[in-house]
Every structure is written in structure tokens, then in C-alpha cells.
Amino acid sequence: MFRIESEKALLDCFRPIDRSTVAPTKSMEFPLYVRDYFTWVEPSGARTYLVFPDTASGKLLGVSFRRDQPRGASPYFCEWCHSVGSSAEIGLLTADASERRRVGISACLDLRCVDKLETRSNLTGENARHLARGVIEKMSEFARKSIF
């Protein structure tokens, strides 16, 4: 559980080169109280944003993902929560690693991985908190290795 005090605090989670791409929505009410991670989709659907606590440093990190065109054949697979779905649900999200390099991950386009895992845990009896932690660990690993 963490708290984001203001729109400025939210933007400060992102790297300076990403900030101009981040569009908070009018419906956000600060402070935001967040359980696992915070995600939202730009109204046009072109971008998905993610703010999560890095498991190593505890610092909040923000990633501005762009949705890329679907490629290859269905079904698609989310590397973070292991859901399978159509190209409308799962696809390639890319982020700028630097000004010249982009990195991508195949994931749920709306990043509602934890919600899906919660449904799964209700069916299988797996520990939902444990599954959520696993997703945040993978997010941290991805962001540390490729972006921050």
C-alpha cells in the first residue's frame, strides 16, 4: 500500500524524458491510495501508464508504455501474470529505454494483471498477495534492467 500525494508527485515518478508523454486524467483524486501498483490508460488508448514500488529500493517508478501494433498469431500471452487472451487484451507494450532504444514486453494492455490474478486465486486457492508480489517483482526487474 502506498500513497501518491499530488499530480506533481505522480509525474515525479517518471523519468524526465517521459514526463511530457504522461497524461493524468481529470478523474484522479489526490491523494491516491494504491494497493499494489497504479495503472491507467490514456483515453485514446495509445498509452498505458504504470507506477509501482521498486522491490529493491522501495522508490516509486513510473513507466510510460506505448501500445504497439499487434504482431504474430493469437493467442497472446502476458509475461507478467501469464494470462492468455486476444490481441485486444494482450499485446506488445514498449517504452523508451533511451532516446534511441525502445524495449518491449508482451503484457495485458490495460495492466490489470493483479485483478486477473485475484480471479485466478479465487478459483485455485493460490495466495493472491503472493501472486501480486510476484508481478511487482517482475515489473521491478524489467524496469531496472531496461529503463532506470
Residues at the interface with Zn ion (CB under 5 A):
78, 80-81, 83, 108, 113
**Smallest gap, in angstroms, from Cβ of residue 90 to Zn ion?**
7
**Smallest gap, in angstroms, from Cβ of residue 24 to Zn ion?**
23
Residues 31 and 122: their CA atoms lie apart, in Å, by: 30
Long-range contacts (CB closer than 8 Å, 24 or more residues apart) made by 4-11: 4/30, 4/31, 4/32, 4/34, 4/38, 4/51, 4/60, 5/30, 5/31, 6/30, 6/31, 10/51, 10/62, 11/62
**Smallest gap, in angstroms, from Cβ of residue 19 to Zn ion?**
25
Closer residue to Zn ion in complex, CB, 6/77: 77
Closer residue to Zn ion in complex, CB, 63/78: 78
Closer residue to Zn ion in complex, CB, 4/131: 131
Closer residue to Zn ion in complex, CB, 22/50: 50
Q: In terms of DSSP H, where are the helices of the chain?
A: 7-12, 16-19, 113-124, 128-146
**Smallest gap, in angstroms, from Cβ of residue 108 to Zn ion?**
3
Residues near 56 by beta carbon (within 8 Å), at least 6 away in sequence = 140, 144
**Smallest gap, in angstroms, from Cβ of residue 114 to Zn ion?**
9
Closer residue to Zn ion in complex, CB, 56/84: 84
